Chain A
């Protein structure tokens, strides 16, 4: 099946710094990618929908200036957490949709665990 990778898998940073998370579709072109956030023992909450070559669509309550999303190519989307604070510590999961698939399915990356000290 299709594969989505994320890098890094785990990152620890100091408060006030920025962290970039990469999401790549390895064997298909993803015109749409999604970024989710998961707090401990909670569900995945959609943060934003990223379309290649256009601005991301953010869900209500998600600060677009804090969570910068770039989808510059059909195989790469990045999420940058700017001026990170401890409350941004979470598990971030990206997902990509293969438009060429006969039955559309979202493929999920393995997640990135962010810890802000």
Chain B
């Protein structure tokens, strides 16, 4: 079975500081890993994904994530946070075989303070 853990319900960071939102996963075989962002009363917006290749993945709005197979982690990072980054962030995983759906973590609310 697939699962995703986002250990932090809330992350607070000052504007201009680096941010990290943590994610660990469990999946049979090799994973496809994703980060999505959700603003209030809106659907999900795709940020980035890891499929294969370089472990460091760069995505939208200056976000990046590093796939670490040994630690089964895919933490989301940004060097300098903006107030507009404040939102709910979801990590998701699926196995890279078969027609399996995405499984989501519980989400981490990021608050960037000016």
Contacts and interface: CB of A to CB of B under 8 A. Distances in A.
A36 B102 CA distance: 10
A56 to B, nearest CB: 12
Contacts, number: 46
Interface residues on A, range: 20 to 34
Nearest to A109: B43
A43 B51 contact: no
Interface stretch (A11-19, A66-74, A80-88, A99-107): A99-107
A93 B49 contact: no
Nearest to B36: A108
B105 A105 contact: no
B105 A43 contact: yes
A64 interface: no
A95 B51 CA distance: 19
Nearest to A36: B104
A104 B103 contact: no
Contacts of A110: 42-43
Given A42-B107, A43-B107, A104-B32, A34 B43 contact: no
B107 A108 contact: no
A108 B44 contact: yes
Contacts of B44: 44, 93, 108
A34 B43 CA distance: 14
Interface in A24-83: 32, 34, 36, 42-44, 46, 49, 51
Interface of B: 32, 34, 36, 41-44, 46, 49, 51, 90, 99, 101-107
Nearest first, the 6 A-B pairs at minimum CB distance are A110-B43, A108-B44, A43-B106, A111-B43, A44-B104, A43-B104
28 contacts: A6-B43, A34-B101, A34-B102, A36-B104, A42-B106, A42-B107, A43-B105, A43-B107, A44-B44, A44-B104, A46-B102, A46-B103, A49-B99, A49-B101, A51-B99, A93-B43, A95-B101, A97-B99, A103-B49, A103-B51, A105-B34, A105-B49, A108-B36, A108-B43, A109-B43, A110-B42, A110-B43, A111-B42
